[in-house]
Amino acid sequence: MAQEKLENMLLDDLDSYTSIDDVEDLEDDLEEDEGFSGELDETSPPEKITQWILESRENLKYGSDILSVTMDLPPVNRIAPENFIAGLQGVLRDFAIGKLPENITKSILAREFDNFEFIAPAREKHLQPRNVEINTFPEICTLTVRGREPVDGNDGTIQVFFDFHVHPGKYLPDGSIDFTEINRFPQASEDDCIFRIYQPTPGSEGTDAYGLSIAPKAGVPFPIKPGEGFRIENGYDEERKEHYQDYFCKKSGIIVCQFEGPAHPDNTREISIKNEIVVKDIDFTTGSLKGQAG
């Protein structure tokens, strides 16, 4: 065996100038002389082939879930085809996958090199199908069982149908309003649609390499508190595939918004319709205003 030959050579020829790299290179050369590593040959039984393949597995994770598993395959032209197929079936059983497709079985029996890919149905009802790729080319020789990543849900969003930039004058650095550049408060009429809230979506679950579900991250609602003066109509956006709620004015009035941060729809935290704005402490000389919606 390669290991025995290596030990004998090391005892006979190893000197103080032999490096670790030299030893590793020598071992690799001896393994190539033996054909391939792993002690598999034409007569290896299916159980040993299955174990050999499973011991080579490399996992690709999605969070804590194993999304796919890639394993080495022994060269198909060095193993009895019937044993190779039986060993491969043993690996698939470990993943709760049924039989190989007939075309792949025939190709392996003929010792043909190819790259096969198919959707494998699960052997148990509570599991999901997976994608299986079998590459029998000598340079690669791999088996990959791959699940599907989950799709996270969308967070809720807002769409406004009024000019939220309209202000009753120009804001000064101290927070007061200069009425020398007076504008207007945004107005709304009865039955006007003022804003729309898209509901969060739950997302769609994925599948790990073993057919078990991977839960998606659900979206979160848009953080807004609708105030008084609205009626709600539900709808569904076919293009976005999302449910929404439209907010219509019950009466004419003034649109009053509260923002968390700069005045932008995404920062809107409260919208209401008021009958009037109570303005007090006005000084037209300094342009100072303090007011309250009522």
Per the domain annotation, does 30 fall within a domain? no
Overall pTM surpassing 0.85 (yes/no): no
Alpha helices (H) along 19-69: 20-33, 46-54
Answer with the one of 98, 123, 146 that is the final residue of a domain. Answer: 146
Domain co-membership, 142 together with 164: no
What is the SS3 assignment for 117? strand
Residue for token pair 């649109």: 255
Last residue of one domain, picked from the residues 115, 146, 177: 146
Is residue 220 one of the residues assigned to a domain? yes
**One-letter amino acid of 274:** K
Give pLDDT tens digits for 28-83. Answer: 443 443 444 458 888 999 999 999 999 999 999 999 999 999 999 999 888 999 99
| Domain identity same for 232 and 265 | yes
Rounded distance, CA 115 to CA 108, Å? Answer: 11
Q: Are 262 and 175 found together in one domain?
A: yes
Task: Specify whether 81 is located in the same domain as 141.
Answer: yes
Q: Is 133 a member of any domain?
A: yes
Domain check: are 287 and 165 in the same one?
Answer: yes
Same domain, yes or no: 178 and 277: yes
In the numeric block, which tokens belong to residue 227?
Answer: 């105030």
DSSP 108: H
In the chain, the number of structural domains is 2
- Looking at residue 294, the DSSP 8-state letter turns out to be -
Task: Give 103-146 pLDDT, tens digit per residue.
Answer: 999 999 999 999 999 999 877 888 999 999 999 998 889 999 99
Residue 23 lies in a domain: no
Q: Does some domain include residue 24?
A: no
Which residue, 142, 122, 119, 114, is CA-closest to 132?
Answer: 119
- SS3 of the chain: helix, strand, coil, percent, to 5: 20, 35, 45
Domain termination site, one of 146, 167, 192:
146
Residues 79 and 119 in one domain: yes
Task: Tell me the C-alpha distance between 141 and 137, whole Å.
Answer: 5
pLDDT band at residue 166 under the 50/70/90 scheme: low
> What is the side-by-side strand order in the sheet with 115-120?
58-62, 65-72, 142-146, 130-135, 115-120
Report d(CA 63, CA 60) in Å as an integer: 10
**Residue 257 sits in which domain range?**
157-293
